[in-house]
Amino acid sequence: MDISIWAWLALGLVVFLVLFIWSMKRHRAPNLKVECDFPIDELTPSLSGLTLGTAVGGNSVEVFENGAFFDVLVEGIQGAQRTVHFETFLWKDGSLGRRVADALSAQARSGKQVRVMLDANGSQGAGKEVVKQMRDAGCSVKFFHKRGLRNLGVLNDRDHRKMVIVDGREAYVGGHCIVDDWLGDAEDGKHFSDVSVRLRGPIVHSVQSAFSENWVGETGELFLGEDVFPDLKPAGDSVIHAVFLKPHGSAPAVKILHHTAICLARKRIWIQNPYFIPEPEAIDAFGEAVKRGVDVRVLMPSTQGSDNPMVQHAGHRNFEKLLENGVRLFEYPHTLLHQKIMTIDHVWSAIGSSNFDDRSFETNDEITLAVKDAALAQRLDAVFERYVKRAEEIQLEPWRHRGVWHKFKDNAVYVINEFL
């Protein structure tokens, strides 16, 4: 047989195996349909049930922005009495990384149980010395989905969560990464904007459960007892459910949550997200919301402000249809806006690690908090209002006439948007 035929057969086998592995791990993406006339704040049990969780009341939610969050986080770690569970996607060596590593190491040396889960791709720049320091101090440090044959089918599945649980009694969830760019106060292009929250109350058990999911998957270790799942008393008035599960063969919970919330909105939908690439069914849902009289606005970084301009170009591909549907789009050129927030009708909020794209909705491991709390929605809307003042609103007619090269990049990059 001619050698060229063998080469073609080998190539065909490789393509088949890649497609086979990809199809095994791919989640279904149904065209979700919602028919309901009740307001979103009356549907918390339904939303939590559809997203495979349970809503719990009696929680407090504190909002922290930009670099100020890390002072609170490090103080929380330093105050741990028994356990610290730390999980993040992106960690790069720098002054912030060393500060966090020092806090975790000090707690481990003092006899606390410190577990650290880092994504093997996003945190490959954490630095060998920092990882060695934590391990030598007694921290249990694990990497999620390291490259290897055993992970061949899940290498595109990344742990994009950012959360910390202290003593099983307080939790930190949001978008902040352990990178020096997240320090400061978003004052320029070298200092990013972000929002995270501190939680107290029964919802902390759910966040601890999310940490356990990947920890057990990588280590096989089950942790139990008062050190990690203590009895939690009410700490506030917020009703919350944590959304993070990806059932095999069905739509992931974070996708169901976001799509359902859009369909339930009756007054307004305000979104802040760094990577906004809605799929056609979501674009249609936004259009239907506008027809119902809903004020739909999206605030995101521009290509100049983004840390990944290719992602923003992929999002540009659908701007024309969104604008035609009545969605108002705002791009912020001054720095990366990294917060992942959606508020609905002044009463409900979603905040967490999930981007508004199918990499987050279909592939990554994420966590989003769904919160019924009018005061929190107002607080998050105030963040939107502060940044939108310096953003540029995209207008339909000028957008239609953007340059040929711009349009080419938008369409070309969109083809690979789920891998960006």
3-state secondary structure of 386: helix
pLDDT tier at 18, thresholds 50, 70, 90: low
Report CA-CA distances (Å) from 328 to 134, 314, 322, 391, 406.
Answer: 46, 18, 8, 12, 20
Q: What is the pLDDT of residues 43-67, one digit of tens each?
A: 999 999 999 999 999 999 999 999 9
- What is the mean predicted confidence (pLDDT) over 368-389? 98
Q: What is the structure's pLDDT at 373?
A: 98
Enumerate helices (H) and strands (E) in the chain, giving the number of each.
14, 15
Q: What is the structure's pLDDT at 72?
A: 98
345 alpha carbon, distance to own chain's centre: 22
> Residue 98 pLDDT more than 90?
yes
- What is the mean predicted confidence (pLDDT) over 357-386? 96
pLDDT tier at 184, thresholds 50, 70, 90: very high
Q: Of the given ranges (119-123, 228-232, 245-249), which has the lowest mean pLDDT? A: 245-249
Q: Which of 347, 341, 350 is nearest to 378 (CA)?
A: 347
Same fold, 30-53+243-419 and 59-238: yes
Q: What is the structure's pLDDT at 157?
A: 87
Q: What is the structure's pLDDT at 10?
A: 74
User: Is the domain defined by 59-238 classed in CATH 1.20.1250.40?
Assistant: no
Instruction: Say if CB 59 and CB 202 are below 8 A apart.
Output: yes
Share of the chain above pLDDT 90, in %: 81
- Rounded-to-integer distance, Cα 347 and Cα 192, Å: 27
> Residue 302 pLDDT more than 90?
yes
Q: What is the structure's pLDDT at 227?
A: 97
pLDDT tier at 176, thresholds 50, 70, 90: very high
- What is the mean predicted confidence (pLDDT) over 278-301? 96
What six digits make up the tokens of 210? 């999310």
> Residue 26 pLDDT more than 60?
no
Mean pLDDT across the chain: 93
pLDDT tier at 21, thresholds 50, 70, 90: low
Q: What is the structure's pLDDT at 410?
A: 87
84 alpha carbon, distance to own chain's centre: 21
Share of the chain above pLDDT 70, in %: 94
pLDDT tier at 30, thresholds 50, 70, 90: low
Q: What is the structure's pLDDT at 43?
A: 96
- What is the mean predicted confidence (pLDDT) over 325-332? 98
Give the bridge partners for 330, in sequence order. Answer: 299, 393
Would you list the domain boundaries of the chain?
30-53+243-419, 59-238
Q: What is the structure's pLDDT at 20?
A: 57
**What would the DSSP string read from start to end of 329-348?**
EEEE-SS-B---EEEETTTE
Instruction: Say if CB 372 and CB 348 are below 8 A apart.
Output: yes
pTM metric for this prediction: 0.92
User: Is the domain defined by 30-53+243-419 classed in CATH 3.90.1150.10?
Assistant: no
> Residue 23 pLDDT more than 60?
no
- Rounded-to-integer distance, Cα 202 and Cα 53, Å: 13
**What would the DSSP string read from start to end of 48-67?**
HHHTT---EEEEEEEEEETT
Sign of CA dihedral 27, 248, 222, 368: positive
Q: What is the structure's pLDDT at 80?
A: 98
Q: Of the given ranges (145-159, 163-177, 227-241, 336-350), which has the lowest mean pLDDT? A: 145-159
> Residue 5 pLDDT more than 80?
no
Q: What is the pLDDT of residues 268-283, one digit of tens each?
A: 999 999 999 999 999 9
